[in-house]
Amino acid sequence: MNGITIRSAAPKDAAKLLEIYAPYVTDTAVTYEYTVPTPEEFASRISHTLERYPYLVAEEDGEILGYAYAGAFHPRAAYVWDVEMSIYIKKDHKHSGIGRALYEALENILARQNILNVYACIACPEKEDEYLTMDSIRFHEHMGYRIAAEFRECAYKFGRWYGMVWMEKRIGGRVEKPAEVKTFAEVRKLLDL
C-alpha cells in the first residue's frame, strides 16, 4: 500500500472512474446495471453524492485504482443516520488492500458525519460462476459486516437469475438522542481530502 493516496473524487474524475466501472457492467453481474453510463451521467452521479456524502478515490502516481462512496440508505427522515456503501476496484488491483483502505477512510468520514449504520447491497450468486463470485460478500465480512437480509433470484442478467444480500455494520453507538448528521462538506474541511 506504499504510495497509495486517498482523496475526494470530483466530477472531472468521471471518465477515469468509468474505466473501472464499465467492465463490471459489461462483463459481470456485480452490478445489475445493464448499460454503461455516459461520462456526463457518471459526473452527475458523483456531484449528487458529494452534496451530502463522501466519494473517495484511491490512486497511485496519479492513476486511479479504485473508488468507494456512500449514499442515502432510504429517503425517509428516520433513516438519516444510515448510508449505503459502494466500492469498485480496478480488476488487476483486487486483493491489494485498496478496498480496505477506501472503506476505512469512508467509515472514518461517515462517523465524523454522525452516521451510525452502514449497509451494502451486494449481488449474490446461488453458486459462483464466470459472472459473479462471493468475493464482495467475503470482503464485507472481512470488514466486519454481517448479512442482514437475502433475496433469491431477484435480478436477471446474462440469461440467468441472481440474488442479492444486504449486509450491515454499526459504526456508531446507540444513544437516546443521536447527533444531527453533518454533510460531507461540513466535515471535509476538518480532513486532509
- Domain CATH code at residue 43: 3.40.630.30
Q: Does any domain span residue 19? A: yes
Alpha helical stretches, state H, 67-123:
98-112
Q: Does any domain span residue 192? A: no
Strand-by-strand arrangement of the 82-89 sheet: 4-8, 55-60, 63-72, 82-89, 117-124, 160-170, 146-157
* Residue labelled with grid coordinates 446461488: 126
**Domain encompassing residue 98:** 4-182
Burial class (CB in 10 A: 0-12, 13-18, 19+), 69: buried
Q: Does any domain span residue 36? A: yes
Alpha helical stretches, state H, the chain:
14-27, 39-50, 98-112, 135-142, 184-188
Q: Does any domain span residue 190? A: no
Q: Does any domain span residue 44? A: yes
List the pLDDT tens digit at each of the 193 positions of the chain.
568 999 999 999 999 999 999 999 999 999 999 999 999 999 999 999 999 999 999 999 999 999 999 999 999 999 999 999 999 999 988 878 899 999 999 999 999 999 999 999 999 999 999 999 999 999 999 999 999 999 999 999 999 999 999 999 999 988 899 999 999 999 987 776 6
Instruction: Please tell me the total count of domains within the chain.
Output: 1
- How far is the C-alpha of 107 from the C-alpha of 171, rounded, in Å? 7
Give the pLDDT of residue 6. 96
Q: Does any domain span residue 21? A: yes
Q: Does any domain span residue 142? A: yes
Give the pLDDT of residue 192. 66
